[in-house]
Structure 1
Amino acid sequence: MGGMTDQVLWYTTRAAGAVSLLLLSGVVVLGLLARLRVEGRGWPRFLSAALHRDLALIALVFLTLHVVTAVVDPFTHLGVVSATVPFGSYYRTFWLGLGTISLELMIAVAVTSLLRHRIGPRVWRAVHWLAYGAWPMAVVHSIGTGSDAMSVWMLAIDVVCIITVGAATVWRVFAAPRDPLAAERRIAAMRAGAGVAR
Protein backbone atom coordinates (compact mmCIF):
# COMPACT_ATOMS: atom_id res chain seq x y z
CA MET A 1 0.00 0.00 0.00
CA GLY A 2 1.08 3.54 -0.56
CA GLY A 3 2.08 6.05 2.08
CA MET A 4 -1.17 7.99 1.76
CA THR A 5 -3.26 4.85 2.23
CA ASP A 6 -1.16 3.85 5.24
CA GLN A 7 -1.77 7.25 6.81
CA VAL A 8 -5.51 6.98 6.20
CA LEU A 9 -5.54 3.56 7.86
CA TRP A 10 -3.53 4.85 10.83
CA TYR A 11 -5.80 7.87 11.35
CA THR A 12 -8.93 5.76 10.87
CA THR A 13 -7.71 3.20 13.40
CA ARG A 14 -6.95 5.87 16.01
CA ALA A 15 -10.14 7.87 15.38
CA ALA A 16 -12.36 4.78 15.45
CA GLY A 17 -10.68 3.61 18.66
CA ALA A 18 -11.13 7.00 20.33
CA VAL A 19 -14.77 7.28 19.25
CA SER A 20 -15.53 3.74 20.40
CA LEU A 21 -13.94 4.46 23.80
CA LEU A 22 -16.07 7.60 24.18
CA LEU A 23 -19.22 5.75 23.16
CA LEU A 24 -18.46 2.75 25.38
CA SER A 25 -17.91 5.12 28.29
CA GLY A 26 -21.34 6.59 27.62
CA VAL A 27 -22.82 3.09 27.51
CA VAL A 28 -21.24 2.22 30.86
CA VAL A 29 -22.49 5.48 32.39
CA LEU A 30 -26.03 4.83 31.16
CA GLY A 31 -25.83 1.28 32.48
CA LEU A 32 -24.65 2.47 35.88
CA LEU A 33 -27.34 5.12 36.15
CA ALA A 34 -30.16 2.95 34.80
CA ARG A 35 -30.58 1.15 38.11
CA LEU A 36 -30.99 4.47 39.94
CA ARG A 37 -34.13 5.43 38.04
CA VAL A 38 -32.77 8.89 37.26
CA GLU A 39 -35.39 9.31 34.57
CA GLY A 40 -37.97 12.01 35.04
CA ARG A 41 -41.31 12.64 33.45
CA GLY A 42 -39.66 13.97 30.32
CA TRP A 43 -37.16 11.11 30.12
CA PRO A 44 -38.86 7.72 30.46
CA ARG A 45 -36.93 4.57 31.34
CA PHE A 46 -37.52 2.93 27.95
CA LEU A 47 -35.75 5.88 26.32
CA SER A 48 -32.69 5.37 28.54
CA ALA A 49 -32.69 1.66 27.71
CA ALA A 50 -32.99 2.38 23.99
CA LEU A 51 -30.20 4.97 24.15
CA HIS A 52 -28.01 2.51 26.09
CA ARG A 53 -28.62 -0.21 23.48
CA ASP A 54 -28.21 2.06 20.46
CA LEU A 55 -24.99 3.63 21.78
CA ALA A 56 -23.64 0.14 22.44
CA LEU A 57 -24.39 -0.92 18.87
CA ILE A 58 -22.81 2.22 17.41
CA ALA A 59 -19.78 1.70 19.66
CA LEU A 60 -19.44 -1.85 18.32
CA VAL A 61 -19.51 -0.52 14.75
CA PHE A 62 -16.65 1.87 15.55
CA LEU A 63 -14.83 -0.87 17.45
CA THR A 64 -15.12 -3.16 14.43
CA LEU A 65 -13.75 -0.39 12.21
CA HIS A 66 -10.90 0.12 14.72
CA VAL A 67 -9.95 -3.58 14.66
CA VAL A 68 -10.34 -4.07 10.90
CA THR A 69 -8.24 -1.03 10.00
CA ALA A 70 -5.60 -2.06 12.55
CA VAL A 71 -5.44 -5.54 11.01
CA VAL A 72 -5.03 -4.28 7.44
CA ASP A 73 -2.58 -1.51 8.39
CA PRO A 74 0.85 -2.71 7.21
CA PHE A 75 2.64 -0.86 10.03
CA THR A 76 1.33 -3.12 12.79
CA HIS A 77 1.37 -6.44 10.90
CA LEU A 78 -1.33 -7.67 13.25
CA GLY A 79 -3.25 -10.19 11.24
CA VAL A 80 -6.52 -11.74 12.29
CA VAL A 81 -4.96 -14.16 14.79
CA SER A 82 -3.11 -11.38 16.60
CA ALA A 83 -6.31 -9.34 16.79
CA THR A 84 -8.40 -12.21 18.14
CA VAL A 85 -6.01 -14.19 20.37
CA PRO A 86 -5.15 -12.27 23.55
CA PHE A 87 -1.43 -11.55 23.89
CA GLY A 88 -0.79 -13.25 20.54
CA SER A 89 0.81 -10.25 18.85
CA TYR A 90 4.47 -9.34 18.84
CA TYR A 91 3.47 -5.67 18.49
CA ARG A 92 2.82 -4.16 21.94
CA THR A 93 1.78 -7.56 23.21
CA PHE A 94 0.43 -6.59 26.62
CA TRP A 95 -1.52 -3.52 25.50
CA LEU A 96 -3.02 -5.24 22.47
CA GLY A 97 -3.83 -8.27 24.60
CA LEU A 98 -5.91 -6.10 26.91
CA GLY A 99 -7.68 -4.64 23.90
CA THR A 100 -8.39 -8.12 22.54
CA ILE A 101 -9.81 -9.34 25.85
CA SER A 102 -11.93 -6.20 26.10
CA LEU A 103 -13.20 -6.74 22.55
CA GLU A 104 -14.13 -10.35 23.26
CA LEU A 105 -15.91 -9.44 26.49
CA MET A 106 -17.89 -6.77 24.65
CA ILE A 107 -18.82 -9.26 21.93
CA ALA A 108 -20.04 -11.66 24.64
CA VAL A 109 -22.14 -8.88 26.17
CA ALA A 110 -23.58 -7.94 22.76
CA VAL A 111 -24.40 -11.53 21.76
CA THR A 112 -26.06 -12.34 25.08
CA SER A 113 -28.00 -9.08 24.90
CA LEU A 114 -29.36 -10.12 21.52
CA LEU A 115 -30.27 -13.52 22.99
CA ARG A 116 -31.55 -12.12 26.28
CA HIS A 117 -35.07 -13.50 25.92
CA ARG A 118 -33.75 -16.98 25.13
CA ILE A 119 -31.05 -17.28 27.79
CA GLY A 120 -32.96 -15.71 30.67
CA PRO A 121 -32.24 -12.71 32.85
CA ARG A 122 -29.86 -14.46 35.24
CA VAL A 123 -27.40 -15.56 32.52
CA TRP A 124 -27.77 -12.27 30.68
CA ARG A 125 -27.05 -10.25 33.83
CA ALA A 126 -24.04 -12.40 34.74
CA VAL A 127 -22.50 -11.91 31.30
CA HIS A 128 -23.51 -8.25 31.23
CA TRP A 129 -21.35 -7.67 34.31
CA LEU A 130 -18.36 -8.38 32.05
CA ALA A 131 -18.76 -4.88 30.65
CA TYR A 132 -17.42 -3.57 33.94
CA GLY A 133 -14.21 -5.50 33.25
CA ALA A 134 -14.08 -4.73 29.54
CA TRP A 135 -14.25 -0.97 29.95
CA PRO A 136 -11.12 -0.47 32.13
CA MET A 137 -9.17 -2.84 29.88
CA ALA A 138 -10.19 -0.72 26.90
CA VAL A 139 -8.99 2.42 28.70
CA VAL A 140 -5.63 0.84 29.59
CA HIS A 141 -5.35 -0.44 26.00
CA SER A 142 -5.94 3.12 24.82
CA ILE A 143 -3.25 4.51 27.11
CA GLY A 144 -0.65 1.90 26.19
CA THR A 145 -1.18 1.51 22.45
CA GLY A 146 -0.49 3.82 19.56
CA SER A 147 2.21 6.32 18.87
CA ASP A 148 -0.10 9.17 19.89
CA ALA A 149 -1.36 7.54 23.11
CA MET A 150 0.42 10.19 25.17
CA SER A 151 -0.72 13.11 23.02
CA VAL A 152 -2.76 15.81 24.72
CA TRP A 153 -5.92 15.04 22.75
CA MET A 154 -5.82 11.30 23.45
CA LEU A 155 -5.00 11.78 27.12
CA ALA A 156 -7.87 14.27 27.35
CA ILE A 157 -10.25 11.64 25.94
CA ASP A 158 -8.95 9.06 28.41
CA VAL A 159 -9.29 11.47 31.35
CA VAL A 160 -12.83 12.51 30.35
CA CYS A 161 -13.85 8.86 30.08
CA ILE A 162 -12.28 7.93 33.42
CA ILE A 163 -13.80 10.90 35.27
CA THR A 164 -17.24 10.37 33.75
CA VAL A 165 -17.41 6.65 34.49
CA GLY A 166 -15.82 7.22 37.90
CA ALA A 167 -18.42 9.86 38.80
CA ALA A 168 -21.26 7.61 37.63
CA THR A 169 -19.83 4.75 39.68
CA VAL A 170 -19.62 6.90 42.81
CA TRP A 171 -23.14 8.15 42.22
CA ARG A 172 -24.40 4.59 41.74
CA VAL A 173 -22.74 3.42 44.96
CA PHE A 174 -23.78 6.32 47.17
CA ALA A 175 -27.16 7.12 45.63
CA ALA A 176 -28.37 3.54 45.79
CA PRO A 177 -31.78 3.21 47.40
CA ARG A 178 -31.55 2.77 51.15
CA ASP A 179 -34.60 0.50 51.24
CA PRO A 180 -33.31 -2.74 52.78
CA LEU A 181 -36.11 -4.75 51.16
CA ALA A 182 -35.48 -3.39 47.65
CA ALA A 183 -32.90 -6.07 46.83
CA GLU A 184 -35.21 -8.82 48.08
CA ARG A 185 -38.10 -7.49 45.96
CA ARG A 186 -35.84 -7.35 42.87
CA ILE A 187 -34.72 -10.94 43.42
CA ALA A 188 -38.32 -12.07 43.89
CA ALA A 189 -39.37 -10.25 40.72
CA MET A 190 -36.49 -11.82 38.77
CA ARG A 191 -37.43 -15.28 40.06
CA ALA A 192 -41.07 -14.73 39.17
CA GLY A 193 -40.14 -13.47 35.69
CA ALA A 194 -37.81 -16.41 35.06
CA GLY A 195 -40.18 -18.97 36.56
CA VAL A 196 -37.67 -19.95 39.27
CA ALA A 197 -39.05 -21.50 42.42
CA ARG A 198 -37.58 -20.81 45.84
Structure 2
Amino acid sequence: MDNALWAFGRVSGIISLVLFTGTVLVGVLARSGRPLLVVPRFSVTLIHRNIALLATAFLVLHVGSLMLDSYAKLNVTDVVVPFLGPFRPFWQGLGTVAFDLVLAVVVTSLLRHRIGPRTFRAVHWFTYAMWPIALAHAIGNGTNGTSRWFLLLAAGSAAVVVGALAWRVSANFLETAKTRQGGLL
Protein backbone atom coordinates (compact mmCIF):
# COMPACT_ATOMS: atom_id res chain seq x y z
CA MET A 1 0.00 0.00 0.00
CA ASP A 2 2.82 2.43 0.82
CA ASN A 3 4.32 2.04 -2.66
CA ALA A 4 0.94 2.90 -4.17
CA LEU A 5 0.59 6.00 -1.95
CA TRP A 6 4.13 7.09 -2.75
CA ALA A 7 3.55 6.64 -6.48
CA PHE A 8 0.22 8.45 -6.28
CA GLY A 9 1.86 11.27 -4.33
CA ARG A 10 4.52 11.64 -7.02
CA VAL A 11 2.10 11.54 -9.94
CA SER A 12 -0.43 13.88 -8.33
CA GLY A 13 2.36 16.37 -7.59
CA ILE A 14 3.55 16.32 -11.19
CA ILE A 15 0.01 16.69 -12.53
CA SER A 16 -0.60 19.54 -10.11
CA LEU A 17 2.54 21.33 -11.30
CA VAL A 18 1.52 20.94 -14.96
CA LEU A 19 -1.99 22.18 -14.20
CA PHE A 20 -0.69 25.17 -12.21
CA THR A 21 1.50 25.99 -15.22
CA GLY A 22 -1.63 25.98 -17.36
CA THR A 23 -3.41 28.08 -14.75
CA VAL A 24 -0.72 30.76 -14.89
CA LEU A 25 -0.77 30.78 -18.69
CA VAL A 26 -4.54 30.98 -19.04
CA GLY A 27 -4.70 33.47 -16.15
CA VAL A 28 -2.33 35.83 -17.97
CA LEU A 29 -4.40 35.39 -21.13
CA ALA A 30 -7.64 36.03 -19.22
CA ARG A 31 -6.22 39.21 -17.72
CA SER A 32 -5.19 40.44 -21.16
CA GLY A 33 -8.79 40.55 -22.29
CA ARG A 34 -8.03 38.57 -25.43
CA PRO A 35 -9.95 35.50 -26.57
CA LEU A 36 -8.31 32.08 -26.70
CA LEU A 37 -8.43 31.01 -30.36
CA VAL A 38 -12.21 30.77 -30.90
CA VAL A 39 -13.13 30.74 -27.20
CA PRO A 40 -14.75 34.03 -26.14
CA ARG A 41 -13.15 36.18 -23.46
CA PHE A 42 -15.61 35.31 -20.67
CA SER A 43 -14.99 31.61 -21.30
CA VAL A 44 -11.23 32.10 -20.93
CA THR A 45 -11.88 33.20 -17.34
CA LEU A 46 -14.01 30.11 -16.72
CA ILE A 47 -11.29 27.89 -18.20
CA HIS A 48 -8.75 29.58 -15.91
CA ARG A 49 -10.91 28.95 -12.84
CA ASN A 50 -11.58 25.33 -13.76
CA ILE A 51 -7.91 24.54 -14.41
CA ALA A 52 -7.02 26.23 -11.11
CA LEU A 53 -9.66 24.17 -9.31
CA LEU A 54 -8.37 20.96 -10.87
CA ALA A 55 -4.76 21.90 -10.02
CA THR A 56 -5.79 22.57 -6.42
CA ALA A 57 -7.62 19.23 -6.25
CA PHE A 58 -4.50 17.41 -7.42
CA LEU A 59 -2.42 19.39 -4.91
CA VAL A 60 -4.75 18.25 -2.10
CA LEU A 61 -4.45 14.66 -3.38
CA HIS A 62 -0.65 15.06 -3.48
CA VAL A 63 -0.45 16.29 0.10
CA GLY A 64 -3.15 13.91 1.37
CA SER A 65 -1.54 10.83 -0.10
CA LEU A 66 1.83 11.77 1.38
CA MET A 67 0.20 12.31 4.78
CA LEU A 68 -1.07 8.72 4.62
CA ASP A 69 2.26 7.34 3.41
CA SER A 70 4.39 5.87 6.21
CA TYR A 71 7.65 6.76 4.43
CA ALA A 72 6.86 10.46 3.87
CA LYS A 73 5.48 10.81 7.42
CA LEU A 74 3.87 14.19 6.81
CA ASN A 75 1.62 15.56 9.52
CA VAL A 76 -0.67 18.57 9.68
CA THR A 77 2.09 20.80 11.07
CA ASP A 78 4.41 19.88 8.19
CA VAL A 79 1.67 20.77 5.72
CA VAL A 80 0.98 24.21 7.21
CA VAL A 81 4.23 25.35 8.86
CA PRO A 82 7.25 25.47 6.52
CA PHE A 83 10.68 23.93 7.11
CA LEU A 84 9.76 21.61 10.00
CA GLY A 85 9.40 18.35 8.05
CA PRO A 86 11.70 15.41 8.72
CA PHE A 87 12.66 14.70 5.09
CA ARG A 88 14.73 17.37 3.33
CA PRO A 89 13.22 20.16 5.46
CA PHE A 90 14.25 23.02 3.15
CA TRP A 91 12.77 21.49 0.01
CA GLN A 92 9.71 20.22 1.81
CA GLY A 93 9.35 23.66 3.38
CA LEU A 94 9.24 25.22 -0.08
CA GLY A 95 6.34 22.90 -0.87
CA THR A 96 4.62 24.03 2.32
CA VAL A 97 5.13 27.69 1.40
CA ALA A 98 3.66 27.04 -2.06
CA PHE A 99 0.73 25.15 -0.49
CA ASP A 100 0.09 28.02 1.94
CA LEU A 101 0.13 30.51 -0.93
CA VAL A 102 -2.37 28.37 -2.84
CA LEU A 103 -4.59 28.30 0.26
CA ALA A 104 -4.44 32.10 0.49
CA VAL A 105 -5.41 32.45 -3.16
CA VAL A 106 -8.25 29.91 -2.83
CA VAL A 107 -9.65 31.60 0.30
CA THR A 108 -9.53 35.06 -1.28
CA SER A 109 -11.09 33.68 -4.46
CA LEU A 110 -13.99 32.28 -2.43
CA LEU A 111 -14.35 35.60 -0.59
CA ARG A 112 -13.73 37.75 -3.66
CA HIS A 113 -17.04 39.60 -3.48
CA ARG A 114 -16.65 40.33 0.23
CA ILE A 115 -13.03 41.49 0.25
CA GLY A 116 -13.14 43.57 -2.91
CA PRO A 117 -11.17 43.47 -6.14
CA ARG A 118 -8.10 45.31 -4.84
CA THR A 119 -7.43 42.81 -2.02
CA PHE A 120 -8.28 39.89 -4.29
CA ARG A 121 -5.77 41.07 -6.92
CA ALA A 122 -3.08 41.79 -4.32
CA VAL A 123 -3.29 38.24 -2.93
CA HIS A 124 -3.68 36.76 -6.42
CA TRP A 125 -0.25 38.20 -7.34
CA PHE A 126 1.19 35.59 -4.94
CA THR A 127 0.60 32.99 -7.65
CA TYR A 128 3.59 34.45 -9.46
CA ALA A 129 5.69 33.58 -6.40
CA MET A 130 3.94 30.26 -5.72
CA TRP A 131 4.74 28.74 -9.11
CA PRO A 132 8.57 28.94 -8.99
CA ILE A 133 8.57 27.95 -5.33
CA ALA A 134 6.52 24.85 -6.20
CA LEU A 135 8.85 24.09 -9.10
CA ALA A 136 11.90 24.35 -6.81
CA HIS A 137 10.15 22.04 -4.33
CA ALA A 138 9.49 19.49 -7.08
CA ILE A 139 13.10 19.53 -8.26
CA GLY A 140 14.64 19.50 -4.77
CA ASN A 141 12.26 17.14 -2.99
CA GLY A 142 10.64 15.09 -5.72
CA THR A 143 11.64 11.51 -6.36
CA ASN A 144 11.84 12.33 -10.06
CA GLY A 145 13.13 15.88 -9.46
CA THR A 146 16.50 15.31 -11.10
CA SER A 147 15.46 12.80 -13.77
CA ARG A 148 16.08 13.93 -17.30
CA TRP A 149 12.42 13.74 -18.38
CA PHE A 150 11.30 15.79 -15.37
CA LEU A 151 14.00 18.41 -15.84
CA LEU A 152 12.90 18.74 -19.48
CA LEU A 153 9.28 19.14 -18.34
CA ALA A 154 10.39 21.69 -15.74
CA ALA A 155 12.48 23.64 -18.27
CA GLY A 156 9.65 23.67 -20.79
CA SER A 157 7.17 24.78 -18.15
CA ALA A 158 9.54 27.49 -16.95
CA ALA A 159 10.06 28.74 -20.50
CA VAL A 160 6.35 29.12 -21.20
CA VAL A 161 5.65 30.74 -17.82
CA VAL A 162 8.56 33.18 -18.21
CA GLY A 163 7.33 33.95 -21.74
CA ALA A 164 3.80 34.61 -20.47
CA LEU A 165 5.08 36.80 -17.65
CA ALA A 166 7.31 38.75 -20.04
CA TRP A 167 4.25 39.39 -22.20
CA ARG A 168 2.25 40.29 -19.05
CA VAL A 169 4.63 43.13 -18.17
CA SER A 170 5.25 44.27 -21.76
CA ALA A 171 3.73 47.28 -23.49
CA ASN A 172 1.96 44.88 -25.90
CA PHE A 173 -0.18 43.48 -23.10
CA LEU A 174 -3.70 44.80 -23.72
CA GLU A 175 -4.50 45.66 -20.11
CA THR A 176 -1.16 47.42 -19.59
CA ALA A 177 -1.56 49.45 -22.77
CA LYS A 178 -5.05 50.63 -21.70
CA THR A 179 -3.79 51.55 -18.24
CA ARG A 180 -0.91 53.58 -19.65
CA GLN A 181 -3.25 55.45 -22.00
CA GLY A 182 -5.43 56.36 -19.03
CA GLY A 183 -2.39 57.69 -17.14
CA LEU A 184 -2.81 55.28 -14.25
CA LEU A 185 0.68 53.77 -14.37
Runs of 5+ in structure 1 lacking a partner?
188-198
Q: What residue is the counterpart of 1:196 in the other structure? A: none
Name the aligned partner's letter for residue 168 of structure 2. Answer: R
1:80 and 1:16 map into 2 onto residues whose CA distance is 19
Secondary structure at the counterpart of residue 100 of structure 2: helix
| 1:27 and 2:23 matched | yes
User: Which has the higher mean CA deviation after the structures are superposed, 77-86 or 128-137?
Assistant: 77-86
1:155 and 1:183 map into 2 onto residues whose CA distance is 43
Q: What residue is the counterpart of 2:83 in the other structure? A: 87
What is the CA-CA distance between 1:147 and the residue it aligns to? 2.6
8 A contact 1:18–1:157 mirrored in 2: no
| 1:126 and 2:127 matched | no
8 A contact 1:106–1:134 mirrored in 2: yes
**Root mean square deviation of aligned Cα:** 1.7
From 55, 58, 77, the counterpart of 1:62: 58
Distance 1:183 1:119, change over 3 A: farther
1:40 and 1:69 map into 2 onto residues whose CA distance is 35
Number of residues of Structure 1 aligned to a counterpart in Structure 2 = 181
User: Which has the higher mean CA deviation after the structures are superposed, 81-90 or 135-144?
Assistant: 81-90
Name the aligned partner's letter for residue 33 of structure 2. Answer: R
The superposition leaves residues 2-53 of structure 1 with CA deviations (integer Å, 9 ceiling, x where unpaired) of xxx1111111001000000000011111122223223168321111100000
Asked which structure has the greater CA Rg, the reply is 1
- Superposition TM-score, scaled by structure 2 size: 0.91
1:30 and 1:71 map into 2 onto residues whose CA distance is 31
Distance 1:41 1:14, change over 3 A: closer
Give % identity: 42
Report 1:1-198 matches (<5 A): 5-39=1-35, 42-174=38-170, 175-177=172-174, 178-179=177-178, 180-182=180-182, 184=184
1:115 and 1:162 map into 2 onto residues whose CA distance is 30
Runs of 5+ in structure 2 lacking a partner?
none
